[in-house]
Amino acid sequence: MSEIDVINFKLVVTGPFAAGKTTFIGAVSEIPVVTTETGTSEGREVKDHTTVSMDFGKVSVADESQLIELYLFGTPGQSRFDFMWDILSKGMLGYVLLVDATRPETWTDAAAIKAKFDELGDVPLVVGVNRGTESDVDKVVAALRLDEAVPVLACEATDKESVKQVLITLLINVVEQLEATVKGSI
């Protein structure tokens, strides 16, 4: 056991109101998820609970030589909570931008959140298109004017394997960026 390196990665899961961020973290977390949900006073037709501070969960990815622990910090979706975005993005190594394929009216919010997060840290992102198909992926890429280097994956936030795929894609990008940084500094 002691031969195995443990590496910890802080990742943020963000996206518009009701994109499925809390569900996404809950689907993979190995520990009881820390949630701060409260009743919604607006948007009740969409859902009746919303995150007001943060969600927190953890998932491990292992191979023979190392154990990578992903610490997942979920943000509130509404821009009135944007101060929590600053707080939660501290020290992040990458982030997931989750969008709801079935509610294109939220995609402008998603673009605004992405612009804000790009200011908060020069880290890789992966876009997860929740409840989406391949054709939704193209629409999201166009609507958010995503650079072709940004991976965009259709996913189901309720499905553990699907969430894992998104996280592993992000992890690969984070590791690549870290390696590039290390090389660059030598």
Q: Which residues bind another protein (CB under 8 A)?
A: 5-10, 31-35, 53-54, 56, 58, 69, 71, 73, 83-84, 86-88, 90-93, 121, 178
Helices 107-120, 82-89: axis angle to 10 degrees equals 40
| Polymer length in residues for the chain | 186
Closest contact distance (angstroms) between CB of 76 and another protein is: 11
Residue 41 vs 83, nearer CB to another protein: 83
Closest contact distance (angstroms) between CB of 108 and another protein is: 26
Strands 37-39 and 49-51: antiparallel
Closest contact distance (angstroms) between CB of 2 and another protein is: 9
Smallest CA-to-CA distance from 174 within 94, 96, 74 is with: 94
Smallest CA-to-CA distance from 142 within 127, 124, 130, 156 is with: 127
Residue 72 vs 101, nearer CB to another protein: 72
Residue 5 vs 148, nearer CB to another protein: 5
